[in-house]
Chain A
C-alpha cells in the first residue's frame, strides 16, 4: 500500500526537480545557482538540499564570474571537429563546475584566468560556457 499524499514520510515532489529547474532557467537565459537559506553558502550543481548539511536551498542569480581552476585540451583530428577545451571553473560564489572556456584557442586557456559565464546553444539545448575577461586572478 502506498503512503497517502499527506503522509509525513512522503517527500513533496510538486513542481520540478532542481535539475530541470536549472535547465529551465538556462533556457530563459539565466544562470541560476542555489544558496543555503541559513548559511548563505552556495551550492552547484543543483541539489534538493545542501550536501553534507541537508540545509534548505533557494535559487539566486549567479554572478557569472569565475576563475579557471584547471584546464585541458582534448586532442581530436581536425576532420572530427578539432581540439577543444575542457576546464573546471571555480565560481566567484565558491562551487566549481566543469565547463568550456570558449572564444580563445583551447590551448590558450590558463589556470587562474578570470572568466565570465555565457549561455550558448548547442544541439538545440542551452549550454553554460565561459569566456575570458582578460584578467588573471587567484
Chain B
C-alpha cells in the first residue's frame, strides 16, 4: 500500500503577501483559508480536517478552528518550523486515506512585518546558545555557510547567484514583494548581517497567508480546478540547535529526499520545477546536493551562471522564493502553493512550460527539520 497519488490538492489561496497593514495574523490565515475553499468550490462547512502551525498561536488548530467555525474530526498542529506544512500534506494524506476526514484544510497566516518588522518567534532560548547572544536564526545559517565555503570552496558570488536568480523570478511574479532587478555586486556589497551573509543572502520579513485544500484522489476530479496529486512525501530531523547538527554541510534532506522520490517512483531528473525553502542563500545549495541534483560540495558550481534563474538549466523557486517573494516567518506553505500553480499551468509569465511534476522542499528551525513533497498532474498517476 502506498500513499502515492492517494490525495490531491483541489484548492489554494493566498492573502496579504508583503504588507497587510491593519490585518491580524489570524485574519490573514482565515482570508487565505476562505480563498482556498472558494478555489475548490467549497466553504468552511465542508472542512472536517484541520492542519495549522503558527508562531502566533500556541494551540494553533484550536485558534483556527474557533475562528473559522469548524469542529474538525481530525486535526494536527505539530510544529517543526517552516517545514510543518510539507509534513501537514503527508499527515493530511494519511488522515484522508484512513477515512479520518474527507476535506483537509492546511492554513497559515502572519502579520510579522507590520506588527514589528522582525521574525516572529515563540522559540525558547537554547540552554547553551542563548548566553552567547547569537543573532538567530541568521548566525546558525551563517556558520553553516562558512563551513561549506571552508570545506568545498563555495564562494560568496555563488551564494549571490541564488539571490539574483530568485529576484529574476520575482520580477515575473506580480504577487512578489521585491521585484527590482538585483545584481551579484549588489548582494556582495550589501550590509553584512552575520558573516558571510549580507542582507540579500537573508530572506524577507513580510506578512502573508496561504492555505491548501486536500481531498482523496477518488473525488479530486469533482472539483472545479485541475487536481494536483501528492506523489510522495517524507520528513526527517536530526537536531534542534546548530551546534548539534552532525555535519554542518549535510542536512536531513539526505534522508527524507530519497524517501519522497521512492514513494513517487521518480528520480531528481524527472522533476520539472523545484521549490526549495530559501531562508538563506546557502539553503538551495545544500538541498540541491542532498536531494541528489549534484554531488556534495558541488552546489555552488551548480547554481552558477544563472542556472536557477528564468531560462536557466533548472527552474527553482519560480515565485521568487523566500528571498524575494514572501517570507512571513514560516514559508513552507508557499512552496506548495507555487508548485500547484505551476502544475495547473497558471503561473503566468513565470510558468515553466509543460510542468507535470514539482518538488516542494521545506525546512524548519536551523536546517533542523527537512520535509520533501513531490506533486504531479493527473497524467503522472
Residues of A within 8 A of B (CB): 19, 45, 69-75, 84, 86-88, 96-100, 107, 111-112, 122, 125, 127
Contact = CB atoms under 8 A, between A and B. Distances in A.
Contact of A71 (B129, B135, B146, B243): B146
Contacts of A100: 132
B145 to A, nearest CB: 8
Interface in B225-251: 241-244, 248
A86 B143 CA distance: 9
B146 A111 contact: yes
A98 B146 contact: no
A86 B131 CA distance: 11
B128 A75 contact: no
Contact of A88 (B131, B191, B195, B243): B243
Given A86-B143, A88-B143, A97-B128, A74 B135 contact: yes
Contact of B128 (A69, A98, A107, A112): A98
A107 B194 CA distance: 11
Dominant SS among interface residues on chain A: strand
Nearest to B150: A111
A122 B131 contact: yes
Given A19-B127, A45-B127, A88-B143, A69 B248 contact: yes
A111 B150 CA distance: 7
Contact of A111 (B133, B134, B147, B241): B147
A112 B191 CA distance: 26
Contacts of B146: 70-72, 111
Interface in B87-117: none
Nearest to A112: B150
A88 to B, nearest CB: 5
24 contacts: A19-B127, A69-B248, A70-B248, A72-B139, A72-B195, A72-B196, A73-B194, A74-B134, A74-B194, A75-B192, A86-B133, A86-B139, A86-B143, A87-B143, A88-B143, A88-B242, A88-B243, A98-B128, A98-B241, A98-B242, A98-B243, A107-B195, A122-B131, A125-B131
B142 interface: yes
Contacts of A96: 243-244
A19 B131 CA distance: 14
B374 interface: no
Contacts of A125: 131
Contacts of A97: 128, 243
Contact of B147 (A69, A74, A84, A99): A69
Given A71-B143, A75-B191, A86 B134 contact: yes
Contacts of B135: 74
**Which of A88, A97, A98, A99 has the largest count of B CB atoms less than 10 A from its CB?**
A98
B211 interface: no
A45 B243 CA distance: 10
Contacts of B133: 74, 84, 86
B132 to A, nearest CB: 5
Contact of B150 (A70, A98, A122): A70
B144 interface: yes
Given A97-B128, A98-B132, A99-B132, A70 B194 contact: no
B314 interface: no
B193 interface: yes
Nearest to A87: B143
A71 B191 CA distance: 18
Nearest to A89: B243
Given A69-B147, A96-B244, A75 B132 contact: no
Given A19-B127, A98-B134, A127-B131, A72 B242 contact: no
Contacts of B147: 69-70, 111
A72 B137 CA distance: 12
A81 to B, nearest CB: 9
Nearest to B146: A70
A49 to B, nearest CB: 16
B109 to A, nearest CB: 31
Contacts of A70: 143-144, 146-147, 150, 248
A98 B194 contact: no
Nearest to B247: A69
Residue among A70, A97, A100 with most chain B CB within 10 A: A70
A88 B248 CA distance: 10
Nearest 6 pairs of A and B residues by beta carbon: A70-B143, A72-B142, A70-B147, A73-B195, A98-B243, A111-B150
A134 B248 CA distance: 25
Nearest to B249: A70
B195 A75 contact: yes
